[in-house]
Structure 1
Amino acid sequence: MRRIIAYLVRFAVILVGYLVASLAASAFLNILFLAHHGYTPADPDPTATASLYFSVPFVALFVAYFAFIPAALVILIAEVLGRRDWLFYALGGTVIALAFLGFVHRVADPNFDVTATNARLAMIGAGVVGGIFYWLSAGRWAGSWRREALPDLEA
């Protein structure tokens, strides 16, 4: 019974880590967008700052939706191999971003494709940031559910 609880707790930690990674990648994309359009922290505009409260979680929904399948594969590999280093997750975020870019390139809708080099690099950077934040919130304990034997106390 304790083993099942350990699995459920680890699954909850993975979900929270995925939520944190999606929010971090979204915040990265939002800050890049604002910086591209001239927003600087030295001269803060209250409307631009307040808009982040809505736009970061809203964009995080799209980030989480489009990155789910490749992220699930990277997380599964990390859990099985017990990878706990930040570089694995940063490179995993890069792979997830490249999988997203490959997906949008293969879709038949030409308006959905990311063609600008700056936008592609922003997506890759968001993947790296998301991977690092996943490592910070959940990846440092990858594979911990199978490292130590949890005896059942129902005897």
Structure 2
Amino acid sequence: MSRLIGYLVRFAVILFGYAVAALAASAFLNILFLASLGYMPEQAHPTATASLYFSIPFVALFVAYFAFMPAAIVILLAEILGRRDWLFYALAGAVVAAVFLGLVDNARDSAFAVRETSAILAVIGGGMVGGIFYWLSAGRWAGSWWQDGP
């Protein structure tokens, strides 16, 4: 029974880590988008700052939706292999973002295929940020459910 509870707790930690990763990637993409428009922090207007409170979680929903299948494969692989280093998760986040870009590019009716180099690098960078934040919140304990108690 305690092993089942351990599995459920680990699953909850994985879901929490995935939500944190999606929010971090969304915040990174929002900041890059604002910087590309020339928005500077010293020009901060209260309405622009307040719009980020809505924009970051809203974009995080899309990030979580589009990255789910490749991220689920990477998370499962990391859990089975017990990978706990930040570099693995950063590179895995880049791979998840690259797989997303490849899937979007190969879709026939895709209206939002990304072809600009700076946008491709921004999405891959967002994947890396998401991977690092997943490691911070859940990846440092990957594979802990494999270990038997004392």
| Matched residue, 1:61 | 61
Report how many residues are paired: 150
1:28 pairs with 2:7: no
The 1-side partners of 2:40 and 2:4 are apart by 49
Counterpart code for 2:117: T
Check conservation: 1:84, 1:140, Cα contact below 8 A: yes
1:74 matched residue in structure 2: 74
Relative to the length of structure 2, the TM-score reads: 0.97
The offset of 1:43, in angstroms, is: 2.3
What is the identity, as a one-letter code, of the residue corresponding to 1:20?
V
Percent identical pairs in the alignment equals 72
1:1-155 equivalences in 2 (<5 Å): 1-147=1-147, 149-150=148-149
Task: Give the aligned CA root-mean-square deviation in angstroms.
Answer: 1.0
Paired AA for residue 86 in structure 1: W
What SS does structure 1 have at the residue aligned with 2:98? helix
Deviations 1:69-107 (A, max 9, x none): 000000001000000000000000010000000000011
User: CA offset at residue 42 of structure 1?
Assistant: 2.4
List runs of 5+ in structure 2 lacking aligned partners. Answer: none
Whose radius of gyration is greater, 1 or 2?
Answer: 1
Shift of 1:45: 2.0
| Deviation digits for residues 33-61 of structure 1 (CA, Å, limit 9, x no counterpart) | 11111111122122221110000000000
Partner amino acid, structure 2, of 1:83: R
CA distance in 2, matches of 1:150, 1:132: 28
Structure 1 distance, partners of 2:92, 2:41, is 30
Structure 1: 5+ residue runs without aligned partners? none
Question: Deviations 1:81-139 (Å, cap 9, x if unpaired)?
Answer: 00000000000001000000000001112522101111100000000000000000000
State the one-letter code of the partner of 1:6.
G
Q: CA contact under 8 A between 1:2 and 1:150: conserved in structure 2?
A: no
Cα distance in structure 1, aligned partners of 2:50 and 2:35: 15
Distance in 2 between residues matched to 1:8 and 1:33, nearest whole Å: 37
